[in-house]
Structure 1
Amino acid sequence: MKTKLLPLVAVISLAAAGSVQAHSSVEAKGDIMAEGTSAYVVDSWGRIVRDNENRCVRSIDWSKDTAIAKCEGWEEPKPAPVVAPAPAPAPEPEPIVEKPAPVAPPKFIAHFNFDMFDIKTADIPELNTFADYMNRECTCKIAITGHTDSAGSEAYNQKLSQERAQEVAGYLANHGVVTDRMIVTGAGETNPVADNSTKEGRALNRRVEVEIVK
């Protein structure tokens, strides 16, 4: 009776299937694979060889650095705990800086040349400052009072003092100060602040005083 021979391809296929089944069954028993280490004796399947007491058989290349913890019965190192970064501190609120109460400017005095009511160029910066204060910081009223020296008649000086006061009031109005907030008067020569018998005294008396009234 003749024995039928299986084709060579079939034989190889059966052998490979058997090998895979055997390999899978070996791994299923909990064998430790070498995974490239040379610290232990390895069989043809890449498994670490065990002795009769089921211990991994070490090779001459074994050291603590190359040892496998599972083989040696060491506890596997635990991954370091993930520490969440501390939350960023909340920004501190900016301190509230209270705006200081506006301080009323001192009384402003403009001086005039003899027999003139034109504002001097030197007095313009202070007038501008006063107008700015009135427009931004103050809702009060101001008194604008014109004065003269004693040269000339009382009637003429009264008229001249009024013209000087009106000139200053007009300048402030042109720079935003409402006319309803201004009390404009002329005092003539009745209220001198210096001696009218001297040139210096008369120059000081030719003036317009601007001051805040409550």
Structure 2
Amino acid sequence: MIPVGVSARTWESLVTAGSERRFRVGDVLLRQGDPPAHVLLLLAGRVKALLTLPDGEVLLLAVRGPGELLGEIAVLGGDGRSATVIALDPCVTRVLPADRFRAVVRETGAETDLLRRAMRRLREGEEWRAETAALPAGPRVVRALLRLAVSGREVGLGQSEIGQAVGLSRGVVAAELARLREAGIVATERGRTVITDLPRLRALAASGRGTV
């Protein structure tokens, strides 16, 4: 799988230039505040990106799957890591030192494409934060499920983690999931939610109601 906004030629060049590194569930792939020494290409498994605010609150920013670049924005911008990335599954990656990554980007002429990709990610984050600030609990949970689902169906996160994504307590998330479960829109088990009626969930998200 090739990341959106990255050509097949660039992706193949990056994969070839990198060396394999594997991570176990719970391992930290990148840590917020660390210098941008390398970039990771995620070939297998899922990761979550967490932002720790100055007051200690932790926000879940995204869940990423195979075919993702991790840490490239910090390397291209020369800033410290903006988030902590943790393995949700056993992960297989290719790691490129920052200098090698920048060299491949220059050789393949991918600078503009990666800049557009970075800007798109920033806009996505801003939209999500705006939703979190403006919407009530029901719509927040509904839209979070759609954003966090893998292959459009499964959210392999617990209620506390979903709460981190939308600024809600575990109890509030549990209540909203219970309503969706009773309506036959989702099925839940420990640490996992499956979307069983994707069209209805999307319709709820579009309506802005979030409650059945």
TM-score (norm 2): 0.20
Q: Larger helix proportion, structure 1 or 2?
A: 2
Q: Larger strand proportion, structure 1 or 2?
A: 2
